[in-house]
A and B are shown apart, each in its own frame.
Chain A
Amino acid sequence: MIELRNIYKSYFVNGFRNHVLNNISIVFPDNVNIGILGLNGAGKSTLLRLIAGVELPDEGSIHRTGRISWPIGFSGGFNGSLSGEENCRFVARIYHEDVDRIIGFAQEFAEIGRHFFQPVRTYSSGMKARLAFGLSMAIDFNVYLIDEITAVGDNVFRNKCAKVFDERREHTSIIMVSHNLGTIAKFCDKAAILTRGSMQIFDSVDEAAKIYEAL
């Protein structure tokens, strides 16, 4: 379970304080996949980074139980000069997992062939995302934080991800942010909408969809 209590977050941009999140309180229960909808710049990625613990809120507190992933997307987290394999090795070590098992799983899941042994800077953004997904799937997280899965390759790969999440449904859930209704509908049971720094949660994706499309 993840609980956010009265979260505020703002950034200084060119001398102006930009309030991204204003007094957000929300509970993400176990075993419910939640999608967070928001237009570009609504603060979705910031929210995900706060949930992961990558950044700290200005005010408020976040309580987490279970094992929570880093924000998985197509950017960040990889060192460009190292190969995919070496990046996986590092992540396996910081999560104290069996290095060989993680590398084997990630390589097989990502399906990027010999590129796995090439420097990550030579990857396309789709390949980076596939590697990030393969790597995160190798580690048994309770909650996967997913940033814009829409960017991840083709339908075949997306279906593969959906299948794994389905298999692990009993102890795994997803918190996903996206501006795309389709992906949220595919993966999530509930949806929330983030606008102007505040968040509203809905019991079904359909309900949220109506409001979101009117934005």
Chain B
Amino acid sequence: MTSAFRDFARGLSIQVHVIHALILRETRTAFGQHKLGYIWALASHGFFIGIFAAMFVFANRSVPSGMDVIGFLCTGFLTYNLFMGTQGKAKTAVKANVSLLYYPQVHPLDLVAARCLLEIATVMVAFFLFMFANTIYTQHFPLDSALLTLAGLFLAALLGSALGLCTNSLCVLWPTMEQLIGPLLRPLFWISGLFFSIAEIPLFAREALLWNPVLHVIEMTRDGWFKTYNYKFYSFSYVIYWILGLTVLGLITERLNRNKVLSS
């Protein structure tokens, strides 16, 4: 037992060092090119939220259940960005860093993990900054359950990372996929409840929309953030089944592809 345990502990320590080094390096390549790189990364998350907030105000559209416009859009967009961001980062993680696989201790999955962790950290920072600013602006702190809010955000990140693991392998097998993934996922922007609440949707459409796990995680974040928003149409287990299914599929395809990736 002890020797197996020691091997495991040693392997784990190597992996922690590798992922740590990869995250620092990724930080440098992702934000280090410009002086305001990190500010830009945060601001880019605010861009769409600003545009949609302006549209809501000019169209005089109200948001449901006592939510404020910015808070409503932030919970939607940033949860969605966590999903799409991790997916996008994981998709190209190996391709962008293939030269690092030259070091035997760097595993393709480490590349995916490091990129996803950095993306999660960035969006989380954006979420808390925007929510903090909005709380000061509206003079109202609507937080219902911090745990539920975090659950929504983390499940979104896990869902994106798991899907990214699959799209990563698909892109290796079939390079055209890299261009196709974007358009294929684009509809999710419109049907995941970024700028509507599932409670506003008529029953017949609601059931169809609830097939989409991204909508579930966004509803979770909203239910967690707003005391006044209490619609529980989402399901934890449904989202977790998706995550488990995609992770298993992603790991299998990664293993099948590994020799091809390593020899490239």
Q: Which A residues form the contact surface with B (CB < 8 A)?
A: 11, 52-56, 58, 68, 70-71, 76-79, 81-82, 86, 90-91, 93-96
Chain B interface main SS type: helix
Among A58, A68, A77, A82, contact of B102 (Cβ-Cβ < 8 Å): A77
Contact assessment for A93 and B17 in the assembled complex, using a CB-CB cutoff below 8 Å = yes
Residue of B nearest to A145 (CB): B104
Q: Is the CB of B262 within 8 A of A56?
A: yes
Report the separation of the CA atoms of residues A78 and B102 in the bound assembly, to the nearest whole angstrom: 9
Given contacts A70-B102, A77-B103, A79-B99, 18 further A-B contacts (CB under 8 A): A52-B104, A53-B104, A54-B101, A54-B262, A55-B262, A55-B263, A68-B104, A70-B103, A70-B104, A77-B99, A77-B102, A79-B97, A90-B24, A93-B17, A94-B18, A94-B106, A96-B13, A96-B14
B residues lining the A interface (CB < 8 Å): 13-14, 17-18, 20-21, 24-25, 28-29, 97, 99-106, 258-259, 262-263
Task: Tell me, rounded to whole Å, the shortest Cβ–Cβ distance linking A99 to chain B.
Answer: 10
A54 to B100 alpha-carbon distance, docked (Å): 10
Report Cα–Cα, A53/B263, bound state, in Å.
Answer: 12
Chain A proximity of B118: nearest CB distance (Å): 15
Return the chain A residue nearest B13 by Cβ: A96
Contact B258 A56 (CB under 8 A): yes
Contact of B21 among A52, A70, A93 (CB under 8 A): A93
Residue pairs across A and B with CB atoms within 8 Å: the count is 56
A70 to B102, CA, bound (A): 7
A86, closest chain B residue (CB): B28
Q: Which residues of A contact B21 (CB under 8 A)?
A: 90, 93-94
How many Å lie between the Cα of A52 and that of B25 in the bound state? 23
Could you tell me the distance in whole angstroms from the C-beta of B39 to the nearest C-beta in chain A? 21
- Give the dominant DSSP class at A's interface: loop
Partner of B103 from the list A11, A58, A91 (CB cut-off 8 Å) is A91
Contact A96–B17 (Cβ < 8 Å): yes
Considering the chains assembled together, what is the distance between the CA atoms of A56 and B258 in angstroms? 9
Residues of B within 8 Å of A55, CB to CB, are: 259, 262-263
Most A CB within 10 A of own CB, among B24, B104, B262: B104
B140: min CB distance to chain A, Å: 45
What chain A residues lie within 8 Å of B17 (beta carbons)? Answer: 93-94, 96
With A82-B28, A94-B21 known to touch, is A71 a contact of B102 (CB < 8 Å)? yes
- Contact residues in A for B101 (Cβ distance below 8 Å): 54
Q: A residues within 8 A CB of B18?
A: 94
Determine the residue in chain A with the shortest Cβ distance to B262.
A55
Contacts of A70 in B (CB 8 A): 102-104
A72 to chain B, nearest CB (A): 10
A82 touches B29 (CB 8 A): yes
Residues of chain A with a CB closer than 8 A to B13's CB:
96
Interchain CA distance A65-B97 in the complex, whole Å: 28
For A82, the chain B residues whose CB sits under 8 A away are: 25, 28-29
Give the 7 A-B CB pairs with smallest separation, nearest first.
A93-B21, A53-B104, A77-B102, A76-B102, A55-B262, A94-B21, A96-B17
> CA–CA, A11 to B262, complex, Å?
11
* Complex contacts, B24 vs chain A, CB 8 Å: 90, 93
B28: chain A residues within 8 A (beta carbon): 82, 86
- Residues in A neighbouring B103, C-beta threshold 8 A: 54, 70, 77, 91, 94
Closest B residue to A46 by beta carbon equals: B263
Tell me, rounded to whole Å, the shortest Cβ–Cβ distance linking B92 to chain A. 14
Tell whether, in the assembled complex, residue A54 and residue B104 are in contact, meaning their CB atoms are under 8 Å apart.
yes
Chain B residues near A68: list those with CB within 8 A: 104
Considering the complex, give the chain B residue whose CB is closest to the CB of A55.
B262
A-B contact pairs, 27 of them (CB 8 A): A54-B101, A54-B102, A54-B103, A54-B104, A54-B262, A55-B262, A56-B258, A68-B104, A71-B102, A77-B100, A77-B102, A79-B25, A79-B29, A79-B97, A81-B29, A82-B25, A82-B28, A82-B29, A86-B25, A86-B28, A91-B103, A93-B20, A93-B21, A94-B103, A94-B105, A94-B106, A95-B105
Q: How far is the CA of A76 from the CA of B102 in the complex (A)?
A: 6
CA distance A11 to B264 in the complex (A): 11
B contact residues around A58 at 8 Å (CB): 259
With contacts A71-B102, A76-B99, A78-B99 taken as known, whether A90 is within 8 angstroms of B25 at the C-beta atoms is yes
